[in-house]
C-alpha cells in the first residue's frame, strides 16, 4: 500500500467510501445485506488505514464514526434519553485481550468484573417506561433518536405493559434486540415461496423489516420475539451494577437474554465467551458473537465513550461458517409465473452439517454487484443456517480468462425475450405457453397443497406435455385411459388408478382450486379467505380491488394481482372450462348461525407434537370445517392454542397473553 501514489490511495479511499455508503443504505434503509459483518468491518478498517496516509477528510471521519441510521419515513421519531451507541467489534482472541488491557489501563485497575452475554443477531430496540408503565418502543435510529415502532411490538411476549416488583424507577429505558425465531423464519419463507415472492435471506433483516412495516396487521402476521440485555437512562438509579439491573429486568417480567454470566480477569472472560459459542445452537435465535461489558455502572461512566461506541464494552464476533468451493456454472430456473432465478452449480462442499452443491444467486443485479463469474472460487454460507448463498468471490484464485457473466436475454426454454417490470428485481418470461412454465403450473395444480391429484407427479406430467396430451390445467380432465396407456410404465391398473384420482379431485374444496390456479402472490391462506368471501369462482373473477382488499388477509398487492389475472381472457376461459368439466367452482355456503359452525369466528394456533396418528393438516381442516381459522402465530387475536408435546415459545407467548390452551383431548371436547 505504501508504494502506491497519493492519487492511487485517494482513488481507493473513494471506492471504499462508495462501498460503505452503498452497504449502509442496504442495511439500514432496505433491511438487507450482501456481505457479512466481518467483510463490512474489513472495508472500514482498510479505509481507516488509508485515512492515516491522506489529508483529513470530514466525510471519511464521519463515515467511520457514525452509528448508522435506520430511521424511515412514515414513523414519528423520539430522542433517546441516553444515546444508543453501537459496539466496537473484534474477531480475534488477541484483539480481545488488548481490549481488556485498555480498560484496565484507563481505569488503573486490574481484575475488573465483566458481564458476558450472547449477542443476538436482531434489530436493536429501546423500551421506555414511566412510573412502571410501558410508553413506547423506539429503534436505534442514528443513535440519538429513533423511530417509534410501538404499534408493531404490541402483544409481543416479554414486553410487560406494567412493571411489578421492587425498585421500579420513575423513568427507565430498557435496551434489547427484536428477532424472529428459526421456526418462524422457515414458516414465513415457506409462505413466500408459495406466493412466488423472493425469500428473506436471513432472520435479522426480516425482523428489522417487520418492525418498520406501516401495515400493522401484516406485521402481526409475523411472530416477533424479544430479548432484553441492559438499560439506558434510569432515574433514579436502582443498581450500582449492570448485573443487578439484569436481575431486576427478569423480576419485572422482561424476556431477558439467556446464558448471561459474570467473570473477572481476561482468561475467565474468554472462557465464558467460548462457552457461549459452544452452546449457541441451543438458543431459539441466531447469535453472531458475545458481548462483554464492564459490570460496574460508575466505572462505565468513568471510561466514557467515543462518538460511536462505549469504551467499556466490546462485541467478540464469531466466525460465520463458510466454505470455499468452485462455481462450476450458473443455471437459470423459470418458475410457473415466468420468474427467472439464477442458481450457482457448485463443486459439492460440506457446510454447516450438510453437503451443498447448489446455492442461490438471487437475481441479475446481485451477480453484477458481486462480480460473480463461472469458474470462480466462491465463498458460500447458509443464510440463517437455512438457505445456501454465494457471499463473495476469491479474486486471488480467479482465472485470467474468466469473463463477466451475461444474464440471458431470452428464455432458455422457449426463446421468448425476457422482460423486467419497473420496480421488480427479477426478469420474467412473458410467454404463458413456455413449456417449463406449463410443467411448473401443472405440477403446482396437482400437488398435495392444491388439488392433490394422486399419482400425477413430475415424471408423468413431463410425459404428458412431451406427448402433447396436456398443455393447460383443464387438459388434465380430458386425459383418457388410452392416453395414459401410450406412455412409458403405464399398465391397465396404474392408468385406471390415475384416471380415478383425476376424477376424484373434481370434488376438492373451492379454496384448493383457487390455490391451484397459481395466481401470483396468492397462497393457500389467501385462497381460503377468498373462498370464504365468495362462494363462486366466477364472482372472484368479477371482483375489483376494493372488493378484495375489504377481505381480512388480502392486501393491495395481492388484490391487484387477482384482478390482473382474471382480466386476461385466457384465464376467464379456463374457469369456464373447469366448470363445464365438472370441477367444484361453486361451493355451497353454510350460514354461520347454523348449529354446525361451532368454531365460527375463532382463531386457532397449533404447536408442538400431536398424538400419534393426528396430522396437523387434518386438524387445520377440522377447524376450518367448523368455521374457524388456523393461524401460524400467537397474538391478542388468538382465541385458542392447541398445544401438543414439546410446545415451545408459542405456548409461552399464549400463557403471557392469557390465551386459552387446549390439548388434543380438550380440542375434541370443544367441537363435540
Dihedral of alpha carbons 128, 129, 130, 135, sign:
positive
- Contacting residues for 274 by C-beta, under 8 A, at least 6 apart: none
Nearest to 22 by CA among 368, 509, 511, 264: 368
Q: Give dist(CA 286, CA 122) in Å, integer.
A: 8
Out of 119, 382, 533, 653, the active site residue is 119
With contact defined as beta carbons under 8 Å apart, do 384 and 182 qualify? Answer: yes
Q: How far lies 547's CA from each of 467, 541, 559, in Å?
A: 42, 11, 9
CA dihedral 528, 530, 534, 540 (to 10 degrees): -140
Q: Has 119 been annotated as catalytic?
A: yes
DSSP for 420-478 reads --TT-SSEE---TT-HHHHHHHHHHHHSTTTT--TT--HHHHHHHHHTTS-SSGGGGGG
DSSP element (H, E) containing 499:
helix 492-504
Q: Give dist(CA 311, CA 298) in Å, integer.
A: 13
Nearest to 330 by CA among 401, 429, 396, 406: 406
Give the pairing of strands 113-120 and 261-264: antiparallel
With contact defined as beta carbons under 8 Å apart, do 228 and 246 qualify? Answer: no
Q: Which residues on neighbouring strands pair with residue 316, listed in sequence order?
A: 90, 290
For 43, the 3-state DSSP assignment is helix
Q: Which residues are catalytic?
A: 119
Amino acid at each position: 500500500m505504501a508504494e502506491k501514489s497519493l492519487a492511487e490511495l485517494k482513488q481507493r479511499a473513494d471506492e471504499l467510501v462508495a462501498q460503505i455508503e452503498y452497504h449502509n443504505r442496504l442495511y439500514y434503509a432496505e433491511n438487507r445485506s450482501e456481505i457479512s459483518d466481518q467483510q463490512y468491518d474489513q472495508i472500514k478498517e482498510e479505509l481507516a488505514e488509508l485515512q492515516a496516509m491522506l489529508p483529513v477528510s470530514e466525510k471519511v471521519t464521519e463515515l467511520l464514526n457514525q452509528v448508522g441510521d435506520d430511521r424511515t419515513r412514515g414513523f414519528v421519531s423520539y430522542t433517546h434519553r441516553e444515546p444508543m451507541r453501537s459496539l466496537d467489534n473484534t474477531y480475534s482472541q488477541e484483539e480481545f485481550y488488548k481490549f481488556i488491557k485498555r480498560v484496565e489501563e484507563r481505569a488503573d485497575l486490574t481484575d475488573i468484573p465483566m458481564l458476558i452475554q450472547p449477542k443476538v443477531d436482531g434489530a436493536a430496540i429501546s423500551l421506555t417506561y414511566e412510573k412502571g408503565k410501558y410508553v413506547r418502543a423506539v429503534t436505534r435510529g442514528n443513535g440519538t433518536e429513533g423511530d417509534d415502532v410501538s404499534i408493531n411490538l404490541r402483544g409481543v411476549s416479554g414486553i410487560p405493559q406494567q412493571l411489578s416488583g421492587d425498585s421500579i424507577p420513575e423513568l427507565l429505558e430498557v435496551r434489547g434486540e427484536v428477532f424472529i425465531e428459526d421456526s418462524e423464519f422457515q414458516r414465513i419463507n415457506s409462505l413466500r415461496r408459495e406466493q412466488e415472492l423472493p425469500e428473506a435471506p436471513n432472520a435479522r433483516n426480516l425482523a428489522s423489516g417487520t418492525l418498520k412495516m406501516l401495515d400493522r396487521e401484516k406485521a402481526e402476521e409475523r411472530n416477533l420475539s424479544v430479548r432484553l440485555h441492559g438499560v439506558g437512562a434510569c432515574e433514579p438509579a436502582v443498581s450500582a451494577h449492570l448485573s443487578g439491573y439484569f436481575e431486576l429486568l427478569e423480576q419485572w417480567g422482561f424476556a431477558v437474554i439467556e446464558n448471561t454470566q459474570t467473570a473477572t480477569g481476561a482468561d475467565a472472560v474468554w472462557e465464558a465467551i467460548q462457552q457461549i459459542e459452544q452452546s449457541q445452537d441451543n438458543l431459539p435465535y441466531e447469535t453472531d458473537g458475545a458481548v462483554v461489558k464492564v459490570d460496574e455502572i460508575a466505572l462505565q461512566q468513568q471510561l466514557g465513550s467515543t462518538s460511536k461506541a462505549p469504551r467499556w464494552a466490546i462485541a467478540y464476533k464469531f466466525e460465520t461458517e463458510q466454505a470455499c468451493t468452485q462455481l462450476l456454472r450458473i443455471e437459470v430456473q423459470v418458475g410457473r409465473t415466468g420468474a427467472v432465478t439464477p442458481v450457482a452449480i457448485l463443486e459439492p462442499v460440506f457446510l454447516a452439517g450438510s453437503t451443498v452443491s447448489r446455492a442461490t444467486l438471487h437475481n441479475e443485479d446481485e451477480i453484477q454487484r458481486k462480480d460473480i463469474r463461472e469458474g470462480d472460487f466462491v465463498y458460500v454460507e447458509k443464510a440463517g443456517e437455512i438457505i445456501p448463498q454465494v457471499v463473495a468471490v476469491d479474486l486471488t484464485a480467479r482465472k485470467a480468462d474468466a469473463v463477466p457473466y451475461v444474464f440471458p436475454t431470452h428464455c432458455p426454454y422457449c426463446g421468448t425475450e425476457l422482460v423486467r417490470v419497473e420496480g421488480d428485481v427479477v426478469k420474467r418470461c412473458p410467454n404463458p405457453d413456455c413449456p417449463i412454465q406449463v410443467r411448473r403450473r401443472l405440477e403446482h395444480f396437482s400437488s398435495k397443497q392444491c388439488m392433490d391429484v394422486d399419482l400425477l407427479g413430475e415424471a408423468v406430467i413431463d410425459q404428458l406435455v412431451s406427448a402433447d396430451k396436456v398443455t393447460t390445467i383443464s387438459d388434465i380432465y380430458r386425459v383418457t385411459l388410452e392416453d395414459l396407456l401410450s406412455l412409458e410404465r403405464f399398465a391397465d391398473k396404474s392408468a385406471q388408478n390415475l384416471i380415478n384420482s383425476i376424477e376424484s379431485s373434481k370434488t376438492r374444496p373451492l379454496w384448493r382450486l383457487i390455490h391451484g390456479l397459481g395466481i401470483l402472490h396468492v397462497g393457500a391462506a389467501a385462497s381460503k379467505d377468498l373462498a370464504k368471501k365468495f362462494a363462486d369462482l366466477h364472482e372472484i373473477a368479477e371482483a375489483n380491488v376494493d372488493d378484495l382488499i375489504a377481505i381480512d388477509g388480502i392486501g393491495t398487492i395481492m388484490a391487484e394481482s387477482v384482478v390482473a389475472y382474471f382480466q386476461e381472457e385466457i384465464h376467464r376461459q379456463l374457469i369456464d372450462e373447469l366448470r363445464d368439466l365438472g370441477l367444484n367452482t361453486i361451493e355451497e355456503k353454510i350460514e354461520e348461525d347454523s348449529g354446525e359452525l361451532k368454531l365460527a369466528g375463532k382463531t386457532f394456533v397449533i404447536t408442538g407434537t400431536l398424538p400419534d396418528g393426528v396430522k396437523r393438516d387434518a386438524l387445520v381442516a377440522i377447524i376450518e370445517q367448523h368455521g374457524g381459522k388456523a393461524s401460524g402465530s400467537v397474538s391478542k387475536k388468538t382465541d385458542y392454542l392447541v398445544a401438543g408435546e414439546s410446545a415451545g415459545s408459542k405456548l409461552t407467548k399464549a400463557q403471557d397473553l392469557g390465551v386459552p390452551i387446549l390439548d388434543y383431548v380438550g380440542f375434541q371436547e370443544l367441537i363435540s
